[in-house]
Structure 1
Amino acid sequence: MSLRLNPPFRAEHIGSLKRPQELLQKRALLDAKKVTVEELKETEDASIKEIIQIQRDAGIKSITDGEFRRHMFFDGVFDNLEGMKYIPEVPLDWLMDYVPDVMAFKKLDFKKADSYVCEKKLRRTKPFYLYQFEELKKLTTPEEHKNIKITVCAPEWFHLRHGPYAYPKEVYANDEEYFADIAVAYQQEFQELYAAGCRNIQFDDPLLAYFCAESMITGMEERGIDHAALLDLYIKVYNDCLKGRPDDLTVGLHLCRGNFKGGKHFSEGGYDRIAIKLFQQINVDCYYLEYDTERAGTFEPLKFLPKNKSVVLGLISSKLAQLEDKAELKNRVRLAAELIAQGEDKRTVEEALNQICISPQCGFASHSDGNNIGSEDMKRKLSLVTEVAKEIWSDA
């Protein structure tokens, strides 16, 4: 697999962006059945045009629609997959306590939660993200189409959350059968996206970072769950989802530790526990890693990054309005390059630096309400990403 740096670009962003108030209000009116889908789309289109221009002005080349056509970052797959059933009030014991965000919600005394669970054989009978890609093409120039990035849900999203309740045993005898059908659905989706011109896909997956959290590891062991085997299963699922993908389809993997209302995170722990498997066994091209606070650990795990992959360092907070110091950001990038260079597969610091890009640590709105920073703060953060990138790399 050859190294792809374009995309991702030196200056990146994760995908979700701050939604304007007008869009939030219009979506609320749709939920209340006071406006039509067509009226909502008019507002979506206008809002996405504005956010595209914000990305251009900031120097961000990998264009997204900010996930403005979604409520949550993980929307798209399981709400469109035949065989999944929406449950407006899922029994709380169907949500595994060892999953960090589930644990956090239960501590907040959430009385109910909605979710999706499998009820019959899973099949992709309609596209997941093709509409969003095609609509974004209409709002961008032909020259920008190759740079459009589509963010997609992690394939194990509901499986980890629901454990033994993820699917009925009379439908699937085991996890391997369940994920085999999910992998086929992703393969079909990626083939269709590629045929439409998509060349940049990013998985959004907080769950893999949860395997770095001591709380989840301990909780699984108490339940008799082999967490190492489960991580191996999820790695196989990723690789199965990507079978047959074209060589020029760039695929990235974003890990974070939670980005909920008020900037709340759900888990802590460095990438050390999963680094070898993460970097060397999952067949993606690049990794978008949260690195804005100490909860993500050190850069030491980057020593396991192969020469043919890149890492996007999420050094800039999408939760706090205060701008990071440029000099400190550049020093941290240099430190990461030095550690990569010292890795198992030795390389020069300059070679390692060529494998690095920078970004905010997460999106600015994993859910529709967004983080507690303003639109102007977001613009300054995106501009800071590109300014630092240009000062580090001449090709930024």
Structure 2
Amino acid sequence: MAQNFKELGLSNGLIKGLNELGIVTPTAIQAEVIPLLLEGKTHLVGQAQTGTGKTAAYGLPILEQVNPKQKSIQVLILCPTRELSQQVAKQLFRFTKYTDKIFTEAVYGGEKIDIQIKNLSRPTHIVVATPGRLIDLLNRKAIDLSQVETVVLDEADEMLSMGFKQQLDEILGFVRDVGNKWLFSATMPHGIKQIVNEHMNADAHRIQISRDVVNKNIDHKFLQCDETEKLPILLNFLKSKGGERGIIFCKTKTATAKLAKQLVAKNIAAEALQGDMLQKERDKVMRAFKNESLRLLVATDIAARGLDVQDLTFVIHYQMPDQEEYYTHRSGRTARAGKEGLSLALVTSKELRILRNYEKALGIGFGEIKSR
């Protein structure tokens, strides 16, 4: 595997910017994907979990290929959530400190569309968008995709599980003849295979970063207990972890709100994050979590989509998820960027059966912790 980004074919300006950010050694997906995408027009299906460095894997080739002198949108990146859109745009900006100015605009729901339309009237080379907001802009004829040469679907399975299949089909219809189509997904459910079959070349490159590479830094543990024992066990665990930060997952909004209240009552800095929060409420919680004035998020699977917060040392499954890909996404919130992390499931005897199924399906070995 390549030891540095020069070996992958990146230009000196980008490498200088990466060095300054402390990004020196390519991750597995970057080493595989970057040389391929730099070669020329290609269709790519990449399977990799969150936290494996895929934004740089597609972002760096994009920045090499954009023509800064051409004042039109050349790249469209689709993301499931506002947070991920903002994060991708910010990361692309940080990479270009020592290159020609390349302008990226993020557009998403929850903000006034008029402001975004005004922003798009400035020279823009790359647009990072959520599917719903992009459809709104297309319907208003407020965005021109006629010069787009590269389309990226980031966290495609997330977009699908959020109900964006119809919008994705419609958007991909607008950019049917684009030479570069790159899709990234942690899992490959039927709906993703449909998108690949309908909108990408039959000879699209397929790269899968194997699960053991992704999950080698995550320690998967479980503790069997009765439902009534979960809260005291959780409190003991949090006490043992000092000030370390993490996310606790529940299946429903009601369970999330209840658990967050119980933790706050014990003087633990926690907040609930669930799907039907107003955007400004969600932003307020995420700001507090990112600036570390908040230690814990208690979240539903839907609410946690697209989150990217560094330095989380643990994820707790207070209730086991219904689908194995949810377990994968939850666990992937810890052990980011080469760090180690713990994924701990608190399971009743009924939930233990689910855990054993995931163990087989995902190829994970769960270690048991005995309650004292």
TM-score range (shorter-chain normalised) is under 0.3
* Structure with higher RCO (Cα < 8 A, 6+ apart): 1
Name the TM-score, length of structure 2 as normaliser: 0.24
Counting strand residues as a fraction of each chain, which structure ranks higher? 2
Name the TM-score, length of structure 1 as normaliser: 0.23
